[in-house]
Structure 1
Amino acid sequence: MKRVALFAGLAALGAIPSLAQSPITFNARGLVVVSDADLGSASTIIDGKLLRDNTRDQLTTIKFPVERGSKGVGTALVSNSVLASAKTLAVPAAGGLAYVLESRIRPEDAVTQYKDALTEFPGGEKLFVVDIANLAAPKAKFGFPVGRKPIAIDVNKNELILSTMDTGKELVFIEAGPDGKPARFLNLPAALDTANKIADLTWHPSGDFIAFTLDNSNEVGLYKVIREAGKLKNVEMVGKPLKVGADPSFGKFSADGKHYFVLDTKGPRGKATGEGEILVVDFSMDGSAEHKVASQVPAGVNTGSFAISPDGTMLVTVNAAKSGAPWTEAGAGAGASLTLFKVGADGALTKVSDYPFEGIYPQSVVFDKDGSNLAVSVFEYLEYGNGNGGVEFWTVTKGDAPALKKQGAKVSLGKGAHTLRIIP
């Protein structure tokens, strides 16, 4: 009895470490991550050389709090691709299911190099549904065709909106049943010319609008959702699409839906040489005025995507820089960073600081449910042997002087980790 009391007293005084404390803090039920093993290395995006091994694409679920070993971390084989947009994975806030786009498929084993992996990689056509109710043991359920080279997907409750490269199927709507099977499947009129494809799309928080990015004309636009008896029936364009830089891609609404933030990478995926930008777009929701760019600010080099804090006061970009270069080049594997911005009431961004870290080709970042921590995907590390990707974690200081601090541990995953989604 005395021994127990002494142990408790020492623990309270900090004389011994707490057995319950974890070096990873992330306030959520779980994370879902997809990893693309078909390239073999992020450098394939640059030089086209496939450095594959016997690993396969997979989806990983991480349950919090994280425990030592593999308990609470589960995997399922699911075809996916980093060569599409930063929105090839969609997870409803309630969890239960994950939806994964198969934008590209694994090349034949005899193929060892492409001139341009971005354009020559063989195209997929399926949407896969994965049961993630048990975060320790996700199960791939089924897949079904949605159109050639599906690019981006977003979810609003049980409503999925996605884009493909197929003419006539540029904009696809799916009402998912409880098991993930399509209860309704609609090819919606995108009202686009044949030269344009939808590179990214986003549900408005209200579920009444969908923002989209056009890859050829470099514009963003807005669809109004038309419903009948509460069911989506059609969409109609609101106003005219707006020019937003040289290579616009990933977009996200503020929590209140007043502002739309758009990433302009200023170059092809992984190959940009100069800083990108984040543009703040104010849409005219009723079409009474023109959409406008309210402000813009420089971002990092080869930024993959960004996250907005739940309270709307911070935005963080994840920047690959030249980390994905072939390992024979000077500076390969280095230069990745996070950039932290403060967000004003009008949506304007003010840069706080850059936070460099080790890791190759990070592409995705998410806040936890109260904005106290961040998770960041890392495609791979500058390591020989089998090599792995991972998820790294950062602690967020809130308030008038926000800051980030890297946590001491990470979760190792299969090579090619590229897109994260949170289950609050």
Structure 2
Amino acid sequence: MARFNLSELGVTGTASGPRGGVTATNVQWHPSGHYLAANINTQDRVAFFEVADGENGPALKLWGNIVETGRDPFVGRFTPDGRHYLTSNWGRNFSATTLDGRIPNAASTMSVIRLADPEAEDVRHERLGSVDTDISAEGMAVSPDGLLVATFDMRGTSFASGTPRHSREAGISLLAFDPETGRLEKLSDTPFEAVLPEGGTFDLTGDHVIATSFEAQPDAAPGMGAGLVVFRVVKDGTPRLEPVGRVPLPHGVHHVDVAP
């Protein structure tokens, strides 16, 4: 096991508080296995690192420039071809002292970063742009073919029942991605009953999307509580999601992955 201090790798902060206000919320392997991405969500940016063999084990060094994203890039994913990195920018207000102030009441965003050619002498990554997704998009997933992206949107399910911002339904935003141009286009929002769907994934075929539901609404019907919510990806015409069913699980389902 090896540990690395972000400040020693060039990721520093000047804010008051621990680590200069630097918080890293996501680390993701590049498909090649040679690079890592770290989402520095409190600074609205992503740092990329090259992984190499050091004298005493693995070594890291900054790979190219640190790239600014949208606000609060909580998670991110490389595309399967390794040419782009996408971030789901939740958009929280870290200076707020209440839940209502901290949780955004506007759509989250997704940023697209085009990665530099690994063989280039001057490694410069480029942010291509951002698009809106839905309110409080925390988790995200990229389909195996790299053509679809999903965000898992908590909406107002983090607020107590009976309060003004409470929502009974969460959602999944489905987006189309063009691996050649890096263009991202939102296709649809699919609502479903859940509380805090903080993660999700495509299956290995790309024909299904699986979302987590952390817990049940207080008055949820049987089978509508914590677990996995499965959707079919309908690909004739404009891709869309259709509900398939649920897999009940104990309280606290947070993330899910599908292994080959």
Give the TM-score, by structure 2 length.
Answer: 0.83
Q: Which has the higher contact order (CA 8 A, sep 6+)?
A: 1
Given the alignment, which residue of 192, 195, 200 partners 1:357?
A: 192
Contact 1:307 1:316 in 2 (8 A): yes
| Aligned length in residues | 238
Deviation track 1:21-40 (CA, whole Å, cap 9, x = no partner) reads xxxxxxxxxxxxxxxxxxxx
* Identity across matched positions, percent: 22
TM-fit CA distance, 1:199: 2.0
Instruction: Name 2:251's counterpart in structure 1.
Output: 415
TM-fit CA distance, 1:239: 2.4
**Cα RMSD, aligned residues only:** 2.4
TM-fit CA distance, 1:275: 0.8
Contact 2:194 2:225 in 1 (8 A): no
**Cα distance in 2 between the residues matched to 1:201 and 1:359:** 26
SS in 2 for 1:279: strand
Instruction: Name 2:110's counterpart in structure 1.
Output: 278
- Mapping 1:33-52, distance limit 5 Å: none
TM-fit CA distance, 1:384: 4.2
- Mapping 1:293-304, distance limit 5 Å: 293-304=127-138
**Cα distance in 1 between the residues matched to 2:130 and 2:77:** 14
Instruction: Name 1:391's counterpart in structure 2.
Output: 228
TM-fit CA distance, 1:330: 4.0
Give the TM-score, by structure 1 length.
Answer: 0.52
SS in 1 for 2:163: coil
Deviation track 1:72-104 (CA, whole Å, cap 9, x = no partner) reads xxxxxxxxxxxxxxxxxxxxxxxxxxxxxxxxx
The one-letter code matched in structure 2 to 1:334 is R
**Cα distance in 2 between the residues matched to 1:188 and 1:338:** 35
**Cα distance in 1 between the residues matched to 2:229 and 2:90:** 23
Q: 1:232 to 1:261 in 2, by over 3 A?
A: farther
Contact 1:238 1:287 in 2 (8 A): no
Instruction: Name 1:226's counterpart in structure 2.
Output: 52
- Which of structures 1 and 2 has the bigger CA Rg? 1
TM-fit CA distance, 1:329: 1.1
Consecutive unaligned residues of structure 2, counting only runs of 5 or more, are: 13-18, 94-98
Q: 1:216 to 1:374 in 2, by over 3 A?
A: closer
Consecutive unaligned residues of structure 1, counting only runs of 5 or more, are: 1-184
Given the alignment, which residue of 214, 235, 238 partners 2:40?
A: 214
Deviation track 1:380-417 (CA, whole Å, cap 9, x = no partner) reads 2223499941111101112552111001x311112221
The one-letter code matched in structure 2 to 1:199 is T
**Cα distance in 1 between the residues matched to 2:103 and 2:74:** 14
Does residue 25 of structure 2 align to residue 199 of structure 1? yes
Does residue 201 of structure 2 align to residue 376 of structure 1? no
